[in-house]
Amino acid sequence: MPQGVPTTIPEDGLTTRQRRNRPLLIVHTGEMKGKSTAAFGLALRAWNQGWPIGVFQFVKSAKWRVGEEAAFQALGRLHDETGEGAAVAWHKMGEGWSWIQRPGSEVDHAADAREGWEQIKRDLAAERYGCYVLDEFTYPIKWGWIEVGDVVQTFAERPGGQHIIVTGRDAAPELIDAAEEARYAAAARGVDVLQSVPEESPGT
């Protein structure tokens, strides 16, 4: 194949540049580890491109500082001081709720999750960020706290060139179907890896 000449051309009416620059919905799901790590790797590339980053953690404790948070907060300070990269905002949607639901806590946690989702909807409408990481967002959807239909519709109707990365186990089929790219964390020879499905997905 001649260099730079594709063997097949998608029948979407887009130029190569338009196809590369179109906003993506990417879902990282599956049983093994590595989903959030891969999402933050993509966010790092987005930061380097100068796209404002919005991280929304939906499961981990508001008191739990993870390494990625410290790193991205440092990048945000670097941007404030030098103009390099882009602004970073890190939001925690809950006070310690996680995969294990504790009796009597569901109502408050559901309300926290819904308010977090409403904030994301406001930010999408305002085109506040270029790249969104919705960490562990599949759980409040799975538990029925957030309607998957509302999520899919909001993502589909978002304005501009906003990219969204969703992580978490048991992603709803509707969310996977709506994604331009779905990646499944699976075990291969004892090592956690992310397998991209399908192989021809954009951005792989």
pLDDT exceeds cutoff 50 at 2: yes
Number of domains in the chain: 1
pLDDT value at residue 13: 65
Each residue's pLDDT tens digit, 27-66: 999 988 889 999 999 999 999 999 999 999 987 555 555 7
- Mode of pairing for the β-strands spanning 53-57 and 191-197: unpaired
CATH number, domain containing residue 132: 3.40.50.300
Please report whether residue 14 resides in a domain: no
Each residue's pLDDT tens digit, 135-147: 999 999 999 999 9
Please report whether residue 187 resides in a domain: yes
Please report whether residue 68 resides in a domain: yes
What's the mean per-residue pLDDT of the chain? Answer: 81
- Domain extent, residue 141, equals 42-95+102-197
pLDDT value at residue 62: 53
Q: Smallest Cα–Cα separation from 55: which of 31, 35, 39, 67?
A: 39
pLDDT above 70 covers a percentage of the chain that reads 70
Please report whether residue 16 resides in a domain: no
Please report whether residue 160 resides in a domain: yes
pLDDT value at residue 109: 78
Q: How far apart, in whole angstroms, are the C-alpha atoms of residue 133 and residue 53?
A: 8
pLDDT exceeds cutoff 50 at 70: yes
Please report whether residue 23 resides in a domain: no
- Mode of pairing for the β-strands spanning 191-197 and 181-188: antiparallel
Write the secondary structure of 23-77 as one string of H (helix), E (strand) and C (coil).
Answer: CCEEEEEECCCCHHHHHHHHHHHHHHCCCCEEEEECCCCCCCCCHHHHHHHHHHH
Please report whether residue 162 resides in a domain: yes
Please report whether residue 47 resides in a domain: yes
